[in-house]
Amino acid sequence: MKKDFKVIGFDADDTLWLNETYYREGEKDFYKLLADFGTPKLLAKELLKTEIQNLKLYGYGAKSFMLSMVETAMRVSENSIDNTGIEGIIHLGKDLINRPIVLLDGVKEVLEKFYDAGYKMIVVTKGDLLDQERKLANSKLEKYFHHIEIVSDKQEHNYQKLLSHLEIAPEDFLMIGNSLKSDIIPVVNIGGYGVYVPCKDQWEYEKVANVDGLKNYWEIKQISDLGDLMEI
Amino acid sequence: MKKDFKVIGFDADDTLWLNETYYREGEKDFYKLLADFGTPKLLAKELLKTEIQNLKLYGYGAKSFMLSMVETAMRVSENSIDNTGIEGIIHLGKDLINRPIVLLDGVKEVLEKFYDAGYKMIVVTKGDLLDQERKLANSKLEKYFHHIEIVSDKQEHNYQKLLSHLEIAPEDFLMIGNSLKSDIIPVVNIGGYGVYVPCKDQWEYEKVANVDGLKNYWEIKQISDLGDLMEI
């Protein structure tokens, strides 16, 4: 595999640290709060519908999730949810923001290895900046990264904007992440490189069916395999 | 005044376009929705209290404002606000996000002048990235700016991080904005330069009492005076 990248971008949530697991737990708490108004299956479907409807307006992150839960709760309860329920949602969301940072296996060692090898590394994330800065500070990984890049979405034009801001060519950029849809496919499509590290608990919205014929990307089982893949 | 800046940062809301006026209108709508539970004065005090309490957790922007309004509504109504009220808040917040972009007087002309003079200009904002990207796209000012920098707050350490990311020294940075507290004082304190352009409808939280003895900053009445000030 090619090694001479000018910048390596790392997705944050579920690439560096645990995140989706917390969201899945948050969703389960939401289903419990609303148990009178529907089965978990129905509530999941309704919540996802609200989230996708609001995506263009709210973007990603915990606050969007909270607002979409409030809206879903009112809709599925036909406006009969009481303030205790709404308070439960707010509380659940604040808890989610405050969850401890748990690094994924091998993350620190890989970052250290690549840092020592002289790579310029950045975090590329579509979450809330405040959230991501807090997580990065708590993760103790700050020293390995040049800076955080927040993108409003992870589509081709967002990566193109990012590359022009970084003032590098696509072939000088490698992106590492747990979402084919957000971290790999758009980067490879504009001429960059990708390493896909699947995680458990993938968000329904991030799932894609088909990557047949996609070039310049590799899949590894865990991030600690990155050193071997790139022979570093 | 010194002219050889490598980067000029512009605050976005209320420096480039109207924003606080919309928030003040949103607050008034909120007071109307909650008229049964308190006077505008009391509601304003309670809302500001909630916003400041949540600032560390939520950061700035429309979604934070919405979540703080929901929380305030439940508190001041002693949990008697009904779903119509909560829906009203969500609706009001979505409206706020969708307000049209109205450029402040002279903004386009000044940006054009500085762009033609070869300055590298960026937007520096603590709002939501998605919101700010949407506003910038709608403003038709995108072409003048190298990129948008989203900062989680505008304190000295945030500007220090920004400068190290831009790889420039403080004295090569000029920041232009409508908040002494957020745009001018922290920049000047770390060795940069500031131009303060006051706006109407300042948010209570952004007000400061005293800038006696502060150096390397200038105050102008409107952004169109920037060319004269810098003799450009």
The pLDDT tens digits of the residues spanning B170-196 come to 999 999 999 999 999 999 999 999 999
Which of B66, B97, B128 is a domain's end point? B97
Percent of chain B with pLDDT over 70: 96
Read off the amino acid at residue B68.
Answer: S
Residues B169 and B198 in one domain: yes
Cα dist from A144 to A112, A140, A166, B11, B190, whole Å: 7, 9, 17, 29, 24
Asked if A74 and B67 come within 8 Å (Cβ–Cβ), the reply is: no
Token pair in block for residue A124: 């590329």
Token pair in block for residue B138: 């709608």
Residue B49 near residue B68 (C-beta atoms within 8 A): no
CB contact B210 to A (< 8 Å): no
For the cut 90, the answer to whether the pLDDT of residue A124 exceeds it is yes
Token pair in block for residue A174: 């490698």
Half-sphere exposure (CA, 13 Å, Cβ side) for B110? 21
Residues A107 and A222 in one domain: yes
Give the per-residue pLDDT at B199: 85
CB contact B155 to A (< 8 Å): no
Asked if B90 and A84 come within 8 Å (Cβ–Cβ), the reply is: no
For residue A164, which residues of chain B lie inside 8 Å, CB to CB?
147
Interface test with B, best of A56, A129, A158, A163 (most B CBs within 10 A): A129
Asked if B129 and A150 come within 8 Å (Cβ–Cβ), the reply is: yes
Buried b (16+ CB within 10 A) or exposed e, B13-38: bbbbbbbbebbeebbebbbebbeebb
Domain around A69? 20-97
Cα A20 from chain centroid? Answer: 8
Asked if A86 and B67 come within 8 Å (Cβ–Cβ), the reply is: no
Residues A171 and A226 in one domain: yes
Give the per-residue pLDDT at B206: 66
Residues A139 and A186 in one domain: yes
B213 CB neighbour count, 10 Å cutoff = 5
Asked if B165 and A147 come within 8 Å (Cβ–Cβ), the reply is: yes
Give the per-residue pLDDT at B8: 98
Q: How many domains does chain A have?
A: 2
Residues B211 and B172 in one domain: yes
Question: How far A150 CA sits from the closest chain B CA (Å)?
Answer: 8
Give the per-residue pLDDT at B109: 96
For residue range B76-132, list pLDDT tens digits in order. Answer: 999 999 999 999 999 999 999 999 999 999 999 999 999 999 999 999 998 788 888
Residue A208 domain-assigned (yes or no): yes
Beta strands in chain B (DSSP E): 7-10, 120-125, 147-150, 173-177, 193-196, 217-219
Across chain A, what does the average pLDDT equal? 93
For residue range A6-63, list pLDDT tens digits in order. Answer: 999 999 999 999 999 999 999 999 999 999 999 999 999 999 999 999 999 998 889 9
Give the per-residue pLDDT at B221: 92
A101 CB neighbour count, 10 Å cutoff = 16
Residue B1 domain-assigned (yes or no): no
Q: Which helix (H) or strand (E) holds B75?
A: helix B62-76
Across chain B, what does the average pLDDT equal? 93
Angle between helix B40-58 and B62-76 (nearest 10):
130
Residues A32 and A13 in one domain: no
For residue B57, which residues of chain A lie inside 8 Å, CB to CB?
94, 97-98
For residue A131, which residues of chain B lie inside 8 Å, CB to CB?
59
Give the per-residue pLDDT at A2: 87
**What is the arithmetic mean of pLDDT over A161-187?**
95
Give the closest of A67, A77, A87 to B63, CB-based: A67
CB contact A51 to B (< 8 Å): no
Asked if B74 and A97 come within 8 Å (Cβ–Cβ), the reply is: no
Token pair in block for residue B112: 């054009």
Give the per-residue pLDDT at B189: 96
Residues B123 and B57 in one domain: no
Residue of B nearest to A79 (CA): B83
Token pair in block for residue B223: 């952004």
Give the per-residue pLDDT at A206: 66
Give the per-residue pLDDT at A150: 86
Residue A206 domain-assigned (yes or no): yes
Q: CA-CA distance, B197 to B192, in Å (whole number)?
A: 17
CB contact B97 to A (< 8 Å): yes
CB contact B72 to A (< 8 Å): no
For residue range A67-122, list pLDDT tens digits in order. Answer: 999 999 999 999 999 999 999 999 999 999 999 999 999 999 999 999 999 999 99
Residue of A nearest to B151 (CA): A129
Residue B202 domain-assigned (yes or no): yes
Of chain A, the end-to-end C-alpha distance in Å amounts to 11
Q: CA-CA distance, A47 to A68, in Å (whole number)?
A: 7
Residue B2 domain-assigned (yes or no): no
Token pair in block for residue A183: 């971290």
Read off the amino acid at residue A74.
Answer: M
Q: CA-CA distance, B142 to B122, in Å (whole number)?
A: 10
Q: CA-CA distance, A65 to A99, in Å (whole number)?
A: 15
Give the per-residue pLDDT at A127: 77
Which of A97, A112, A135 is a domain's end point? A97
Residue A205 domain-assigned (yes or no): yes
Cα A10 from chain centroid? Answer: 10
Residues A135 and A208 in one domain: yes
* The Cα angle at residue B56 between residues B177 and A61, in degrees rounded to 5: 90
Give the closest of B67, B129, B150 to A90, CB-based: B67
Residues B198 and B226 in one domain: yes
Cα dist from B71 to B46, B66, B95, B178, whole Å: 10, 9, 19, 29
Residues B182 and B213 in one domain: yes
Burial class (CB in 10 A: 0-12, 13-18, 19+), A6: middle
Lowest-confidence range among A24-28, A210-214, B64-68?
A210-214
Which of A49, A69, A97 is a domain's end point? A97
**What is the arithmetic mean of pLDDT over A208-218?**
82
Higher pLDDT, B123 or A202: B123
Q: What is the ipTM of this complex?
A: 0.86
Cβ partners under 8 Å of residue B80, min gap 6: A83, B37
Residue B82 domain-assigned (yes or no): yes
Read off the amino acid at residue A153.
Answer: D
Cα dist from A113 to A1, A166, A198, B34, whole Å: 17, 23, 21, 57
Residues A80 and A149 in one domain: no
For the cut 90, the answer to whether the pLDDT of residue B205 exceeds it is no
Residue A2 domain-assigned (yes or no): no
Give the per-residue pLDDT at B207: 67
For the cut 90, the answer to whether the pLDDT of residue A214 exceeds it is no
**Residue position matching structure tokens 């971290």:** A183
Higher pLDDT, A204 or A195: A195
Q: In this structure, what are the phi and psi dihedrals at residue B152, rounded to the nearest 5 degrees?
A: -75, -25
Residue B104 near residue B224 (C-beta atoms within 8 A): no
Q: What number of helices (H) and strands (E) belong to chain A? A: 9, 6
| pTM for the whole structure | 0.87
